[in-house]
């Protein structure tokens, strides 16, 4: 059953919002295209779906990956800097391995007037990575 790329992106974003607030998970049923959402966040009752008893069946369900699995964290930042901020590439490399790297990157983007360009670059890369991930997991997508 096909699922829209918009729904896959939305589930991916949900699954990557955890941080210190708790674990957020999203699963796709490869047969029906239904997405199931789960969180251990204390007030997440309105988000939590009743998970199927066989959610661990990898033939039927697959958990949405995190950004690291799709190389959408530091590697993407470096790709962007290499292509669009070549004069600042060494700076981005330097602070990318240190605490607070992403806020420093965002500050650099603001100084260079490149925030909107970064968001477009990130969205395009995320969608392509998710399309590739869906193909790898035999999830048919539309849109």
Q: What is the pLDDT of residues 41-61, one digit of tens each?
A: 665 455 667 889 999 999 999
Question: Tokens for 72?
Answer: 């959408």
pLDDT of residue 124 exceeding 90: yes
Q: Is 31 part of any domain?
A: yes
The mean pLDDT of 74-96, rounded to a whole number, is 94
Is residue 113 included in any domain, yes or no? no
| Contact yes or no for 121/80 (Cβ under 8 A) | yes
**Cα pseudo-dihedral 82, 17, 29, 7, rounded to 10:** -70
For the record, the structure tokens of 3 come out as 């699922």
Distance of alpha carbon 45 from alpha carbon 130, whole angstroms: 27
Neighbours of 20 (CB within 10 A): 4
pLDDT higher than 60, residue 87: yes
Residue-level pLDDT at 89: 96
Q: What is the pTM of this model?
A: 0.86
What pLDDT is attached to residue 41?
Answer: 64
C-alpha distance from residue 82 to each of 72, 79, 124 (Å):
15, 5, 17
pLDDT band at 26 (very low <50, low <70, confident <90, very high): very high
| 101 in any annotated domain | no
Whole domain around residue 49: which residue ranges? 3-64+138-142
Q: Tell me how many domains the chain contains.
A: 1
**In angstroms, rounded to a whole number, what is the distance separating the alpha carbons of residues 132 and 119?**
20
Is the predicted pLDDT of residue 18 greater than 90, yes or no?
Answer: no
The predicted model gives 31-45 an average pLDDT of: 79
Whether residue 59 is contained in a domain is answered as yes
- pLDDT score, position 100: 87
Residue 74 counted as domain residue: no
pLDDT, position 23:
84
Residue 69 Cα distances to 21, 42, 73, 110, 123, angstroms = 21, 27, 9, 27, 16
């Amino acid at each position: 059953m096909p699922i829209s790329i918009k729904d896959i992106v939305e589930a991916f974003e949900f699954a990557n919002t955890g941080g210190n607030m708790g674990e957020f998970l999203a699963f796709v049923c490869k047969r029906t295209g239904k997405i199931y959402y789960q969180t251990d966040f204390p007030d997440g009752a309105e988000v939590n779906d009743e998970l199927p008893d066989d959610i661990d069946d990898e033939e039927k369900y697959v958990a949405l990956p995190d950004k690291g699995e799709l190389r959408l964290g530091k590697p993407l930042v470096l790709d962007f800097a290499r292509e669009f901020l070549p004069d600042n590439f060494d700076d981005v490399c330097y602070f990318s391995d240190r605490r607070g790297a992403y806020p420093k990157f965002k500050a650099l983007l603001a100084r260079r007037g490149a925030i909107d360009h970064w968001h477009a670059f990130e969205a395009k890369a995320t969608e392509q990575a998710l399309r590739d991930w869906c193909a790898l997991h035999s999830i048919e997508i539309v849109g």
